[in-house]
Structures are given as structure tokens and as C-alpha cells.
A and B are shown apart, each in its own frame.
Chain A
Amino acid sequence: MSYYDIDSILTDAQKLPCTFELEVPGLGVLEGNPGEDIKAGTRIDLPLWLGEMLSIAARIGTSRLVTLDMPEALSERVMNALKADPRTVDLRALAPHFYNLSERILELFEEEELVDVLTDTFKRRAAEIADQAHNPRGAVGDGVEFLRGLDETERQLFRAAHDRAKAMRIWAGEAKRK
């Protein structure tokens, strides 16, 4: 997570549902009607970096501006699906940076169960990724559906495993260098 890490920047831009606690004059631009006020109780999706800042402000003494909710990607429904079978869930459709997002969320919320579910999910999927990455026919065949649903972190993992296996095959003379 370095300053220039593009994945970290993109994670920051993911939307998070927030509820405004106070009426904010002139901020209607967030809702799509510039010039208007934002009423208390409005629900708007704000980027992670903004929502985090606004909700943390409460700790410095001022009253809380917004409250954060769990994003759709980490909702109860998704967790149940992950518990049932981690390999069939399309994480990419939920959030392109699913794991990075959940890391940030877990910093904000205390969710022991979520950690367990995610850890288990990651392990099960990592094993599947390893198998797919060593598939000598490349990413074709039955694995396509699964590989399409990988989030960005998993893609990097897949790439690491796949490149290494390929380099090995080239060295051993089993595959042609391109």
C-alpha cells in the first residue's frame, strides 16, 4: 500500500453508502442537483476516502456528519453466498478491488465473523487459482467462468503463479518461448 500504488488509489474510489446526519447547505451537487442543500437522513454513495473522512470527524469532537454502512459487496447476502461456496461468487462484479476494500472496511468496523468468512474464502479460492494457473492449456476451458470473477488481488496472484509455471516450462524446454 504505497502512495503511488494504483490499486490502493482505485480502492479509495470505491463507493460506500453513507447517511447524512446533518443538513449541509449547498452540497446538493453530490446528489446530482447543484445549488440545493442536502437534507439530514439522505443516503448517498460516497467514495471511500470521502466517507471515511466525514464519518471519522465525530471523533474530534464535532458531531458526526455521516454514518457509514456496509457496502453492498460485503452485505449479509454476499457473505452467505461466500459461506456456501466461495468459488462460484463473482467477486469482480461485486467490487473490482474486493479484498482491498474489505481490508479498509475492516479497519472501520469490528466484524470478527467477516474476517473469518473472508479468510476462508481467500484460502479456498487461492487453492483454485493455483490449480488454474498450472493448467498447461492456459486460461481456457472450464476455468474461464471462475477466472473472470477474480478480483484484482487474485488476478495478481494468478499472474504470479502462472508466469512462474510458464517460465519453468520454457526453461525445461517443454514450451516454446514467445
Chain B
Amino acid sequence: MAFPFPQGIAPSEIAFLAEMEMVTIVPRQRLEGLELLGGPVEPLAPPRRASLPLWLALLLKRQRRANIIPPTWLHPEPLSLILEVESQHQDYKHAFSPPPPLPGQPSMHEPGPEPTARPQYTPDGEKYFAAPPFLPHNTAQARTSSGEVPALPYHWIEVGNMLLDAASDDLMDPDQIRRLLKDLREVRMSKMRAGVDVLDAAATGGGGVALTGVGAMELGEERGFLTGVVDNLRKIGASKEQARREQLAEQRANGGYNGTQDEEEDYMEF
């Protein structure tokens, strides 16, 4: 408390982390392949699509050397679908819409053959399975399966905002997207704040708020508040918790006695 710096990381820092997300671009100019710390960038040849880190894509976009193809979820239809799920659907009244499925995770709406995760290989030839945040959630894959439910990736606020800022001419109906993103944020924020009611259970062990599907920026924004609430509830409930533990310890100490009593009862039955 005496520490003057704000807790957690600032929005600009979260946005910085989001800039390593891969996005799809259509280059307008040739560019040799680049050897970057985050991995090699494929050579750009104009009509062919390529996947680049967001920061590089934004740079090329600003220099008018490329067009960004918006991620599959950053279109008016999937966004309004998610918004409808978030605000109308009975199951998601207190929960957030699910995050994009992991590779190998069976889709909820298509209980077909279980998809298998495709392993990837490190430069040393070791096998690994990519996990968030190293999954390409923001590329414009041609997803043909119709049962695919749109989902918000971990960095949805950051990527959405940055693309709206820098590449709004590449998006379909940017004004509506902006409005939908804002609505989504508000719906989800109010859900998170409503979670305060069940936080005392989280403070004394047991219950809690499910934060599945919550994005990085939302977590960053609510972190200070939620941790403060849990911490104070824990402090207020400390004496009760202490009493409960003592009671438990007492019960455990008496456990031996109870055990023998049960045995006696069993014995009486015979």
C-alpha cells in the first residue's frame, strides 16, 4: 500500500504484448524475408497473403505497403452474434462467451469426430503443442466449417482497437464494429462487476468468479479492483475463518473418538 506505483500493468503495456499477435496481410510491395527475434518473417510477394506480427503489419499499413485482412471475428456479423449470446442467452447470463477453442478441443456445437491437435516443431526438432497466447487467433483463416462459433480471442480489445485506429479502411463497416466492440465491453464489464457478490466465497476458499474467456485488457482493468475486494473480504472474515479452522482442528482431534464410536455401532448391528 505504501508502494507508489500502480499495481498490475498499464493498458499501453498490454497493448504492447498484443502486438505480437499474428495477423494476415496482403502486401502491395515485395519484401525480402526478415529474420526477427520472434521468428522469421516469410518473404512478401504482392498478391499472396502472409502472416505477420501485428506491429509489423501496422507499420506496413501506415506506409501504405500492405492491406490488413481483418481477423475472422472482427466483422459485424460474428460480433453481433457474440453480443447476442452475451446479453440474451440464458446460459451466459453470468458467464462470458467462451474463448476460441484450443486445437484438439472438441467443438461444442459439432460433436463429430474428435479433432486432433496438430503438433508443431521447434527449430531443434522438438515436438510441442501451441497454446494461447501463441495460437493464431487473429489471422484471417478461411474457416469453411459452418458450425464454427465465433469467439473473442484473448487480445480482442487491443487488436480490435488498433485495427480500427490504423486500418479502418480495410475493415467492413468500421463504425458498426466500433459500436459493437463498445457494447460488448460494457456488457462484459457489468458481468464482472456483478461478480463481486460471490467474491466472499472466493476469499474464504471455495466458490469464485469464472473468468474463462475474459480478455487481457479486461483483466488488466479490473485487476486492481477485484483483488482489493477479495483482500478486504478476507481481512474482514479473518476471525470467522480462524474460528472455523479451530473448529475443524477440534473435529479432527476428536476424529479418533468418533471413529471408535462408529465401530461400536457397527458391532451392535451384528
Contact = CB atoms under 8 A, between A and B. Distances in A.
Nearest to A167: B11
B236 A118 contact: yes
**Secondary structure at chain B's binding surface: helix, strand, loop or mixed?**
helix
A30 B86 CA distance: 62
A25 interface: no
A131 B193 contact: yes
Given A6-B2, A134-B189, A164-B220, A157 B225 contact: yes
Interface in A129-170: 130-131, 133-134, 153, 156-157, 160-161, 163-165, 167-168, 170
A4 B2 contact: yes
B228 interface: yes
A140 to B, nearest CB: 20
Contacts of B45: none
A106 interface: yes
B6 A163 contact: yes
Select the residue from B196, B233, B239 with max chain A CB neighbours within 10 A: B239
Contacts of A171: 10-12, 15
B194 interface: yes
B102 interface: no
Report the interface size class on chain B: 35 or more
B240 interface: yes
Contacts of A119: 200, 233, 236-237
B206 to A, nearest CB: 14
Contacts of B2: 2, 4-6
Q: Which 9 A-B pairs have the closest CB atoms?
A: A160-B224, A171-B11, A161-B225, A106-B239, A130-B193, A115-B240, A157-B228, A164-B221, A127-B196
Interface of B: 1-2, 6-8, 10-12, 15, 161, 165, 189, 193-194, 196-197, 199-200, 217, 220-225, 228-229, 232-233, 235-240, 243
Interface of A: 2, 4-7, 99, 102-103, 106-107, 110-112, 115, 118-119, 122-123, 126-127, 130-131, 133-134, 153, 156-157, 160-161, 163-165, 167-168, 170-173
